[in-house]
């Protein structure tokens, strides 16, 4: 993913959520709807989350230091993990608390039409943000499903924004459901039920993000397709086979490759060095994210044994 593409989706989501959060707070003050308050807290959490994603992109570009020789690429994973925690604590837990409280102690809504108008406008803004995220994601998604993209992507920002925007749209539907039924039936308990549904939805989304971001933060290797390509490019020229290989993403655009390769017997030192240089060049030409390659040469003992 290009930094520019991810930044466009994040900025679109940040602008949309900041405006939506303000409108929802106004709606809550006018109507007293707990669904509006839960959605306002949700939008505040999302706005903070997008700011954290932008911060992660900025800090990840710092130069490598003696203490961090592989750079700071994983800052993007760290801040994405914090985003997931905030979505759960600020969004999900607060909404569930408000929902349960409103169900136990329901109170009449005032001016519910105001809440409905604000929620409809929020749907429009969230749809714009969601479409932007989808457009940017399609550039790197390839042929995998959307669920596969969220699970397999080594770049954290777009999956985070996609899930947040999808959750925001569903949350708005739940809020409309709660406020609408409370207005139609005259029973404010429905507002609490809608709020509780928002909280449960956010908890599920936060859980998915926490699992995925934890995996990236700990360190994931190349995708199966990338690994096959790397091995194919290594096993060409004077490289007979890959004895073993390890890969790990140091950041979304920085893949480390370490491999022990079997070379043809009888090569001079200069030929060994050239074979390694050629192998590294082939891999980098095919897999753009490969930044660091460490190759340990060895003889192909299966060939020498047969000889």
Domain count, the chain: 2
Which of 218, 243, 265 marks a domain boundary? Answer: 218
Could you tell me how far CA 282 lies from the centroid of its own chain?
30
Residues for the chain: how many in total? 307
Which of 179, 194, 218 marks a domain boundary? Answer: 218
Does 240 lie in the same domain as 181? no
Would you say 297 and 264 are in contact if contact means Cβ atoms under 8 Å apart? no
Question: Tens of pLDDT along 117-170?
Answer: 888 888 888 888 888 888 888 888 878 888 888 888 888 888 888 888 888 889
Q: Which domain holds residue 286?
A: 224-306
Does 228 lie in the same domain as 214? no
Does 77 lie in the same domain as 206? yes
Does 71 lie in the same domain as 199? yes
Does 115 lie in the same domain as 231? no
- Domain of 254: which CATH number? 3.30.70.1350
Does 237 lie in the same domain as 157? no
What is the C-alpha separation between 14 and 20, in angstroms, rounded?
Answer: 10
Does 257 lie in the same domain as 145? no
Question: Tens of pLDDT along 159-187?
Answer: 888 888 888 889 889 988 988 898 889 88
Other CB atoms within 10 A of residue 59 CB: 14
Torsion of CA 123, 195, 89, 168, to 10 degrees: -10
Report the pLDDT value the prediction gives residue 302, as an integer from 0 to 100.
61
Report the pLDDT value the prediction gives residue 257, as an integer from 0 to 100.
96
What is the C-alpha separation between 42 and 128, in angstroms, rounded?
Answer: 17
Q: Assess whether pLDDT exceeds 70 at residue 189.
A: yes
Does 269 lie in the same domain as 192? no
Does 288 lie in the same domain as 149? no
- pTM equals 0.77
Q: Assess whether pLDDT exceeds 50 at residue 87.
A: yes
Does 97 lie in the same domain as 29? yes
Does 246 lie in the same domain as 125? no
- Domain of 188: which CATH number? 1.20.1510.10
What is the C-alpha separation between 73 and 258, in angstroms, rounded?
Answer: 18
Which of 186, 218, 250 marks a domain boundary? Answer: 218
From the list 246, 225, 223, 20, the residue with the least C-alpha distance to 118 is 20
What is the C-alpha separation between 168 and 65, in angstroms, rounded?
Answer: 39
Does 78 lie in the same domain as 131? yes
Residue matched to tokens 């060409």: 236
290 contacts: CB under 8 Å, gap ≥ 6: 230, 255, 257, 283, 284
């Amino acid at each position: 993913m290009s930094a520019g593409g991810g930044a466009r989706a994040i900025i679109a989501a940040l602008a949309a959520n900041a405006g939506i959060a303000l409108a929802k707070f106004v709606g809550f003050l006018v109507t007293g709807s707990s669904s509006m308050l839960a959605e306002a807290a949700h939008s505040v959490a999302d706005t903070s989350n997008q700011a954290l994603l932008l911060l992660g992109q900025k800090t990840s570009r710092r130069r490598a230091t003696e203490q961090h020789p592989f750079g700071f690429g994983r800052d993007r994973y760290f801040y994405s993990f914090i985003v997931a925690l905030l979505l759960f604590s600020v969004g999900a837990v607060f909404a569930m608390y408000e929902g349960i409280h409103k169900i136990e102690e329901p109170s009449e809504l005032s001016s519910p039409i105001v809440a409905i108008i604000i929620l409809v406008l929020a749907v429009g803004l969230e749809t714009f943000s969601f479409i932007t995220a989808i457009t940017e994601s399609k550039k790197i998604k390839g042929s995998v499903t959307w669920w596969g993209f969220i699970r397999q992507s080594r770049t954290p920002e777009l999956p985070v924004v996609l899930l947040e925007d999808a959750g925001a749209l569903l949350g708005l539907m739940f809020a409309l459901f709660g406020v609408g039924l409370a207005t139609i039936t005259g029973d404010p308990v429905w507002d609490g039920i809608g709020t509780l549904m928002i909280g449960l939805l956010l908890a599920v989304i936060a859980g998915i993000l926490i699992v995925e971001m934890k995996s990236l933060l700990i360190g994931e290797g190349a995708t199966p397709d990338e690994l096959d390509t790397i091995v194919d490019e290594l096993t060409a020229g004077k490289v007979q086979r890959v004895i073993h290989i390890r890969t790990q993403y140091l950041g979304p655009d920085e893949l480390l490759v370490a491999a022990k390769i079997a070379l043809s017997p009888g090569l001079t030192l200069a030929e060994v060095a050239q074979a390694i240089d050629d192998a590294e060049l082939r891999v980098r030409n095919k897999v753009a994210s490969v930044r660091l390659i460490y190759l340990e040469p060895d003889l192909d003992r299966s060939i020498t044994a047969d000889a």
